[in-house]
């Protein structure tokens, strides 16, 4: 089973912990990993919504782009800078 590595998921660059660390997010699997391993806090409404969206996208109940958008809202919630990358 693959975790939605669709071209419908434009790469997103997150800046984690200031300029010390960055992370490229290219798929629903990457969303899950960054939320579980790298997120600065484990509370917040948008963080929880992003986790749920990630699970729903993994189960193909919503498009991968919805998980990406949820991640962006979660990043906004914690004032985490991000860039949309064009490949």
Instruction: Tell me the per-residue pLDDT of 7-65, one tens digit each, with 9 for 90 and over.
Output: 468 899 999 876 668 889 999 999 999 999 999 988 899 999 999 999 999 999 999 99
Length of the chain as a residue count: 87
Question: How high is the pLDDT of residue 1?
Answer: 40
The pair of three-digit structure tokens given for residue 53, joined into one six-digit string:
């969206």
Coil, helix or strand at residue 21:
strand
Condensed to tens digits (0 to 9), the pLDDT of residues 72-81 reads 999 999 999 9
Does 10 or 67 have the greater pLDDT score?
A: 67
Task: With beta carbons less than 8 A apart as the criterion, state whether 17 and 40 touch.
Answer: yes
CB atoms within 10 A of CB 34: 22
């Amino acid at each position: 089973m693959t975790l939605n590595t669709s071209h419908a998921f434009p790469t997103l660059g997150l800046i984690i912990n200031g300029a010390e660390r960055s992370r490229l997010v290219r798929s629903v699997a990457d969303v899950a990993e960054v939320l579980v391993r790298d997120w600065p806090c484990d509370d917040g409404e948008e963080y929880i919504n992003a986790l749920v969206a990630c699970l729903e996208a993994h189960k193909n109940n919503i498009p991968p782009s919805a998980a990406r958008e949820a991640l962006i809202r979660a990043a906004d919630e914690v004032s985490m800078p991000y860039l949309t990358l064009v490949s």
